[in-house]
Structure 1
Amino acid sequence: MSKVLSFLLMAKVKIFSHLFYRGRANWLSEEKEESLNQVKLLVFLNHTSLFEPLFIRFATWRFVWNVAHRVIVPGADVTLKRPVAGMILKVLLPGCIPITRKPDESWQHFLSHVSQEVITAILPEGRMKRRNGLDKHGKPMTVRGGVAEILERLESGKLLFVYSGGLHHIQSPGERFPRLFKTITANLELVDIADYKQYLIQAGEGNFKSRVVADMNRRLDECVP
């Protein structure tokens, strides 16, 4: 029942996004919507707002159904404890698993759910960008290493990069309500997980995790619209 409710809520968000916002999506890869059913990992870069579910407008209905039924995603425990935002996220994403943002047992618990049978989604920066381009502590936004640990547990399928154009013009951290009739932009890219891992193993310096982080930070700098 929770997965059906998740799909219905995602459908409402998708319809709402189409009704009240303009969308501009650009595919950076030759593979596009037709390969979304092969996605095993979704990496969302440039985390700027709690209203990022609006990006679901760019997904096919089949992919929305798959996400509702098969996605797992780490969610900050402090966010999930919020009375309104937490409740909505739990219904929208029943596969949202609380973590403490520390390398502790909560992260290991999340990793234990990663497999080829589910779609794993992650916002690898691990915190939200403020209007000044920094996190809430005034530190630069960079990718953390958790996404590498997820990749180590996946052998095949597709990795979907969603490069957000940002939502500060719609809702910034700390603002309660979104502004309507704005444009949502994103670059999208599909890559083969096995090929991507092989590329990372052969290129660059350092261990696998440092290579993943370096590549993700490069993408954050170069691929965000």
Structure 2
Amino acid sequence: MTKFLSFLLMGLVKVLAHMFYRGQPNWLSKEQESSLKDVRLVVFLNHTSLFEPLFIRFAPWSFVWLIAHKVIVPGADVTLDRPLAGTLLKTLLPGVIPITRKADESWEHFLSLVNTDVITAILPEGRMKRRNGLDKDGKPMSVRGGVADILARLDNGKMLFLYSGGLHHIQCPGEKLPRLFKTLTANLQIVDIQAYKQTVNQRSEVNFKAKVMADMNARLDAFVP
């Protein structure tokens, strides 16, 4: 019942996003919608707003169904504890797992749930970009190592990159309501997980986590519209 409610709410978000926002996804890979059924990891790059569920506008209904039923995603405990935002996120994504911002038992618990029977999603920067291009503490945005921990537990399937064009023109952190009739922009790319790991491992002599972080940061610079 919870997962069906999640699908209904995601469907509502998708319909409302079609009504009030413009935009089409731009595919960077030859593999596109027909390969979404094989996706086991979704990597969302350029985290700018809590209204990013609007990007579900770009997802086919079959993938919305899979996300509602199979997705697990780490969520900051401080966000999930908020009365309104936390309740909405937990209802929309019943697979959201609360974590702290430390490499502690909450992160290990999340990793224990990662396998090829679910779809894992992550925002690997771990915090939101403000208008000045920095995080809330004034530090530069960059990818953290959690996405490498997830990849280490996946040996097959596909990875979907969603490179967000940003939502500051719709809603900035701290603003309560979104602006309507704007354009959503995103580049999408599907890559094979095993091939990705082999390619990354060949690039240098540093450890796997450092290689993945460097690659993701390079993707932020190269592929965000």
Matches of 1:213 and 1:184, distance apart in 2: 26
Q: Does 1:110 align with 2:135?
A: no
Match of 2:156, as an amino acid? S
Residue 39 (structure 1) aligns with:
39
Q: CA deviation at 1:25?
A: 1.4
Match of 1:153, as an amino acid? R
Q: Deviations over 1:22-47 (max 9, x none)?
A: 01311000000110000000000000
Q: Does 1:177 align with 2:177?
A: yes
Residue 78 (structure 1) aligns with:
78
Q: TM-score, normalised by structure 2?
A: 0.99
Matches of 2:205 and 2:124, distance apart in 1: 21
Residue 124 (structure 2) aligns with:
124
Matches of 1:143 and 1:125, distance apart in 2: 4
Residue 134 (structure 1) aligns with:
134
Residue 196 (structure 2) aligns with:
196
Q: CA deviation at 1:205?
A: 3.3
Matches of 1:135 and 1:204, distance apart in 2: 29
Q: CA deviation at 1:204?
A: 2.3
Residue 68 (structure 2) aligns with:
68
Residue 152 (structure 2) aligns with:
152
Q: Secondary structure at the match of 2:83?
A: coil
Residue 15 (structure 1) aligns with:
15
Residue 187 (structure 2) aligns with:
187
Structure 1 residue ranges (4+ consecutive) displaced by more than 4 angstroms after TM superposition: none
Match of 1:176, as an amino acid? K
Structure 1: gaps spanning 5 or more residues: none
Matches of 1:73 and 1:6, distance apart in 2: 14
Matches of 1:151 and 1:192, distance apart in 2: 11
Matches of 2:67 and 2:155, distance apart in 1: 19
Q: Deviations over 1:66-121 (max 9, x none)?
A: 00000000000000001110000000000000000110000000000000100000
Q: CA deviation at 1:3?
A: 0.1
Q: CA deviation at 1:201?
A: 1.1
Structure 2: gaps spanning 5 or more residues: none
